[in-house]
Structure 1
Amino acid sequence: MENIMKWIPRAVLALVLSAAAPGVNSEVPGGSFPSRPITIIVPYPAGAGTDATARIIARSMSERLRQPVVVQNRAGAAGIIGVDLVVKAPPDGYTLLLTTANTLTSNVSLYKNLPYDPGAQLAPISLVGNVPVVLAAFRDVPANNAPELVALAKAHPGKLTFGSAGNGTVLHLSGELFKSATGTNIVHVPYKGIAPSVAAAAAGETQLVVADLTTVEPMVQAKRLKILGNLGAVRSPLAPRIPIMADVGIEGVEVGAWSAMLAPAGTPETVMAVLGATLADTLRSQDVRDNLLKIFVEPQGSTPDQLRVLIDADTRKWRRVIAEAGIKID
């Protein structure tokens, strides 16, 4: 069960969600739910990747539930503001959360005064998608794959730098996990967002960058960056040519920028059943899958228990990485 990111994608990419039924509506267990609009809170700005994912999902769920499903952005404080809003909402199924891994896992170790306990105050519904996380290098770096990079870094300890979207982000932590697994000393350079970190690497300001495939790919096409490897547990269907770390003999590096849907803890089981079945049906839709793939999101689903196991496993993993790297958020 520790290797959850390897186990879950195999199940969910095949959409092993037998409990879900197509065409979910108010006739399924849950009585008259929903009888009014549902709000999905996204703890990030409008236009961000998670926001785009939520809007694709919301449109399809609205059709199936025969009620408006509205996306509201409540950004700020590394996602904490939006999550806290959902935690404090009535547990009736009308306020949901669509968020990314960090708000549910790494934030627990990074922020001493986190105003919520995601494990106790949120009820998992399902995974939604995953964005591949890749390690890329400036075109002139004399390494064309991860093993060559490890050799280069060990020959020049402390001389190479890698950029990320910011201190404490999952992308930063993924870079630290790579360093730990390979015994290398590569200096982290935080930027204010993914795009600036990728632009910096493409300009040669840093030798490396850990970022999502979506942002990196245009710079690869422009021959300003080269991808050294996928940091995920399995090869991505979006870029099957890119090897994962295990393919080249580097073990213990299995990360993903996944997103998931949750509800306030205490939401009735009948309502959770409606939401889970509707989301599963949505993720089976070819139109939804195609639209998610267009924005470099791999459609994924899960049972609530599978999502809970994933959250717990990633929380433990990032707690260890944060402690070993001495990462602190001011």
Structure 2
Amino acid sequence: MNRRIFAKLGLVALSPLAGGLFPASALAQVADSFPTRPIRLVMPYAPGGPGDIFSRAVGRGITQRLGQPVVVDSRPGAGGVLGLEIVAKSVPDGYTIGLGGTGSLAGALSLMQQTPYDPLKDFAAISMIATVPEILAVHPGVRATTVAELVALAKEQPGSLSYGSGGMGTGPHLAGELLRLRTGIDIVHVPYRGAAPATTDLVSGQIQLMIGEGPTMMPFVQAGNLRALAVTTRSRLAALPDVPTLTEAGVPDIEMENWYCLLAPAATPPARLALLRRVVVETLNDQEVQRLFAAQGASPAPGTPEALMAHIQREITRWAEVSAAAGSRTN
């Protein structure tokens, strides 16, 4: 991620100094009383995906630094909304935190008639965790080797091509709707309970295309089970140097990355939030964690709570506009 994007998100530079954002004397006062028992980290996505990997890495880091176990509680469903509802309605004492993301905090508001929480009022921000690129890929049986050919095929056969996602309002769903809007094609959304089953059906040919997260799609692309047509990032991915960006492929204004963040219920004591924030930033600065994220094609992205909430607001506005313009469906 380049410096301009880091500045836009208000991200904290990855350096040993990042751990010193909060005075040690102030944090020592809460360290004596918190935590005294295990912390629950609600992971609202399907096991095995990037969100699961990030949650467990952050959980290990918190455990190592605070001396209490972090239990990763997998609660997938409704594109992450079900899990975040649990977080929003939990006792705000710092013992329940949760992983949020593009769909559960921004996409859901634009695509669902009603959500069980307000992303801007019902949560206290801890930190941004990571950003993840997405890849537009098709089944090898699809008669398209470029984005232009895919668009032409979709226009020749409107409604005949289907694209998968890990659920309504998830990043891949939003990306598919943005592709529909920018190209004027008619493709059918097929939501799944997680990215893994969607990818399985894509590989088997049950659906024809998907704009999925890099960590999920990359192994199948590299094995030849899927054909990558473009990436959604500003520049090409080092792991796929021959795959163009969507802008290079002739589809502008579609740049996006999935993002993940850590939240607590609103009204969680500020001192406990500060302690959690410090150890999360320290964890994301750890070289081993950075290597783990890099292996997933992800960029660690620790930042301030103010920058995170501002980013969520921008994303809510962006995807509401896209949804309205595209006439996005809720299925």
Query: After the TM superposition, which of the residue ranges 125-134 and 80-89 deviates more from structure 2?
Result: 80-89
Flag the 1:255–1:5 CA change in 2: closer, same or farther, 3 A: farther
2:30 paired with 1:32: yes
Classify the secondary structure of the residue corresponding to 1:283: helix
Deviations 1:2-24, CA, capped at 9 Å, x for gaps: xx9945588749537965329x8
Aligned-pair CA distance for 1:241: 4.8
Aligned position for 1:138:
139
Aligned-pair CA distance for 1:177: 0.1
Aligned-pair CA distance for 1:284: 0.8
Q: What's the % identity of the aligned pairs?
A: 35
Where does the alignment leave 5 or more consecutive residues of structure 1 unmatched?
Answer: none
Deviations 1:49-104, CA, capped at 9 Å, x for gaps: 32222111111122122333332233344433322222223333222112322111
- Using the alignment, how far apart are the partners of 2:67 and 2:4 within structure 1? 33
Aligned-pair CA distance for 1:116: 1.5
Flag the 1:86–1:168 CA change in 2: closer, same or farther, 3 A: closer
- Using the alignment, how far apart are the partners of 2:102 and 2:4 within structure 1? 12
Contact 1:26–1:32 (Cα < 8 Å) also in 2: no
Aligned-pair CA distance for 1:253: 0.8
Flag the 1:241–1:10 CA change in 2: closer, same or farther, 3 A: farther
Aligned position for 1:86:
87
Aligned position for 1:43:
44
Query: What is the aligned-residue RMSD (CA, Å)?
Result: 3.2
Deviations 1:152-183, CA, capped at 9 Å, x for gaps: 44455444433333444321221110121223
TM-score, normalised on structure 1?
0.84
Aligned position for 1:243:
244
Aligned position for 1:323:
324
2:4 paired with 1:20: no
Aligned-pair CA distance for 1:313: 1.6
- Using the alignment, how far apart are the partners of 1:200 and 1:90 within structure 2? 39
Aligned position for 1:197:
198
Deviations 1:204-225, CA, capped at 9 Å, x for gaps: 4433222222232232233232
- Using the alignment, how far apart are the partners of 2:316 and 2:215 within structure 1? 25
Aligned-pair CA distance for 1:117: 1.0
TM-score, normalised on structure 2?
0.84
Aligned position for 2:228:
227
Query: After the TM superposition, which of the residue ranges 264-273 and 53-62 deviates more from structure 2?
Result: 264-273
Where does the alignment leave 5 or more consecutive residues of structure 2 unmatched?
Answer: none
1:272-283 equivalences in 2 (<5 Å): 272-283=273-284
1:1-330 equivalences in 2 (<5 Å): 6-7=5-6, 12=11, 14-15=13-14, 20-21=19-20, 27-29=25-27, 31-33=29-31, 34-37=34-37, 38-154=39-155, 156-236=157-237, 239=240, 241-329=242-330
Aligned-pair CA distance for 1:287: 0.9
